A and B are shown apart, each in its own frame.
Chain A
Amino acid sequence: MPFDFSFTREQELFRRTCRDFFREEIEPTVERVDEEEAFPEENIRKIAEMGLMGVPAPREYGGGGMGEVGYAIMLEELGRVCSAHATIVGAHIGLCVTPLWLYGTEEQRREYLVPAARGEKLGAFALTEPAAGSDAGAISTTADRRGEDFILNGEKIFITNGDRADIIIVFAVTEKMLGAAGGITAFIVEKGYPGFSVGKIEEKMGIKGSTTAELVFRDCRVPRENVLGPLGLGLIVALTTLDGGRCGLAAGTLGGAQAALEAAVRFAKRRRRLGKPIAENQAVQWMLADTAMEIHAARYMVYHTATMVDEYYEMVARGERVPRPFRELVTRDAAMVKTFCSEAATRAIDRCLQIHGGLGCVEGFNVEKSFRDALIAEIYEGTNEIQRLIIARDVLEKGGYWAP
């Protein structure tokens, strides 16, 4: 059996289209978006019109039908251009469109997935709380039954798109006694529900075009039919969603690493010091070589993991039982790809900045912006420390690196 690892013609056309579109339509605006620290509404509208807000979801639900590989291609290309945009789109697709597709009932899919995948409505995912980030099982937002409905109370923080989203996947405790494993439930919350409000918007060092909001629930009534997935199994909804989300996030950082390498090469060839281009210096060449090697590894990891997530998600969406070894494999690989790629990207951008010297630190030169944008990828969607715990747990249990 050959080890075929190539893109289809369709995927190649999709990549080329994404690259041209992002470069021509989005890239010229990214510096301004960063400066104004404003949500790039116009850009997101254009991205939605291109059908890019539902890339992996099936066509019958308004999606692009391109699966997780298509999703990774799109985020890799968007990540080349701007991490803030990749964050907005990644949170919408990876953390809202995906769980709606995986766990939504037919009615929920019609009502929420279709407009989200078409890009008519924006999505968010609200899990993190002031006292529960890495320790997601420790959330304290409650959802108490009142008749047929649920009443939500609590606060969520650091919610990407939180202030802009029409549809928010919210995780809350439905049965405290059962703990994280059986006591957390996922809900679909519409922004107009009484009792829901947006609190503080964070001011951040990077990804400034993406908004990060506090969400407040005060006796917010959510109808019974808006429970997403099985009652009490919200943590599974969250963790399954995050497996794919991490792979997409990794793809975005991979794009950022490539843009950094290309910028570094361009600069190193042009910049002359001591009578020759600095690209002729071994110290610079080694930095470029290291980045190229890491991109090479990252790229294979991303697309290999994406094909596995694809298979995994198809099973979940069909309501099939996923064999435990496969589920664990996807979780481990998603943790590895997220950690490796986000760190490879920060290293790539760090080297790119070093090659640019003082100019790398100057505003308006893009290197400085990329540097500020890159760091969050090692933190959000599960810190890299938590990812390493996931990987180590698997390695210890299996006795080493396990592959089927």
Chain B
Amino acid sequence: MNTIVCVKAIYSPERITVDKRTGKVVLRGLPTILNPPDRVAVEAALRLRDAHGGKVSTITMGRTEAEDPLREALAMGVDEAYLLCDEAFGDEPHTTATLLSYAIRKMGAFDLILCGARSLDGNNAQVGPQLGELLDLPVVAEVGDVRLEEGRLMAEERLGNNARVVKTPLPALATLCEDAYKPRYPSTWGIYEAYHLKTVTWWSRKDLDITEELEAEGPPVQTRRVFPPELEERRQEILRDPPAEAARELARRILRLGRDG
């Protein structure tokens, strides 16, 4: 059972401050951490490995400081890590998914790809499903549990208040919800191994056999503006009178609303 976990480095939300003048989040100097849902995906992969053997690899596309979260995954018990790092790499979801697909083809055979359902910073929830499409894999998104039964993946999809268990042949791709599992803490021994005994392989653009001209037309999704949504004022009140009186009261209020505009 060889699993590849795609992860993302995000700035630690713990010490984020907002520049009072520009209204922008100050990111400089913040430590990078493993995106929490991705940590859950790592946990899921490690559990599958503990139960069925095999290997867990992890990969991310990011800047140089993205190495830290990879080390964190290695400290949790992941076997090997890859960092796609190149000035030329954009960070829009489609570009990320495309580059990951090239890297994963280069990494060799695998049975399963796991991703966090979304990143806490961008919150697009796009990379996982797009990657699945690019690699032509069955995709199960936003799952709360993954298991292996008779060589097939059983994944519990979260659908609002309901859940649906999906069975799919391998290889496949699943994205994990943040609360699916409680991720393990890296042990002291694991942290030492991550920094002294395990390696992070760096790949740049020239290491991937990219045939497309990714930047030709620019990324398909472009961010125009980031803004807080305008909030409409809403009120709610529950009338607890007996039905007949409640109906009269309701009618009175509606009439008043109509009159006052």
Point out residues on A near B: beta carbons under 8 Å.
8-10, 12-14, 16-17, 20-21, 49-52, 54-55, 59, 64-66, 70
Contacts and interface: CB of A to CB of B under 8 A. Distances in A.
Contacts of A20: 185
Nearest to B12: A16
Contacts of B8: none
Nearest to B190: A51
Nearest to B67: A9
B110 to A, nearest CB: 27
B191 interface: yes
A51 B195 contact: no
A24 to B, nearest CB: 8
A324 B71 CA distance: 41
B17 interface: no
Nearest to B187: A51
Nearest to A119: B188
Q: Which of A9, A10, A13, A64 counts the most chain B CB atoms within 10 A?
A: A13
Contacts of A59: 189, 192
Given A13-B191, A13-B194, 4 more contacts: A8-B195, A13-B68, A17-B75, A50-B185
Contacts of A64: 188-189, 191-192
Contact of A12 (B31, B189, B190): B31
B195 A10 contact: yes
Contact of A13 (B72, B189, B196): B72
Contacts of B187: 49-51
B186 interface: yes
A17 B68 CA distance: 13
A66 B186 contact: no
Given A10-B195, A13-B75, A50 B68 contact: no
B72 A51 contact: no
A51 B188 contact: yes
Q: Which of B31, B33, B187 counts the most chain A CB atoms within 10 A?
A: B187
A238 B190 CA distance: 32
B188 A14 contact: yes
A59 B195 CA distance: 13
Interface of B: 31, 33, 68, 71-72, 75, 185-192, 194-196
A17 B185 contact: yes
A65 B75 contact: no
A8 B189 CA distance: 16
Contact of B192 (A9, A12, A50, A65): A65
A52 B33 CA distance: 22
Nearest to A65: B192
B188 A52 contact: yes
B188 A16 contact: no
Contacts of B72: 13
A264 to B, nearest CB: 19
27 contacts: A10-B191, A10-B194, A12-B31, A12-B68, A13-B71, A13-B75, A13-B191, A13-B195, A14-B191, A16-B31, A17-B185, A17-B191, A20-B185, A21-B185, A50-B185, A50-B188, A51-B187, A51-B188, A51-B189, A55-B188, A59-B192, A64-B189, A64-B192, A65-B192, A65-B196, A66-B191, A70-B188
A14 B185 CA distance: 10
A66 B188 CA distance: 8
Contacts of A10: 71, 191-192, 194-195
Contacts of A13: 68, 71-72, 75, 186, 191, 194-195
A21 B185 CA distance: 7
Contacts of A21: 185
A259 to B, nearest CB: 16
Contacts of B194: 10, 13
B75 to A, nearest CB: 7
Nearest to A118: B189
A187 B68 CA distance: 44
Contacts of A17: 75, 185-186, 191
Contacts of B31: 12, 16
Given A12-B31, A13-B68, A66 B185 contact: no
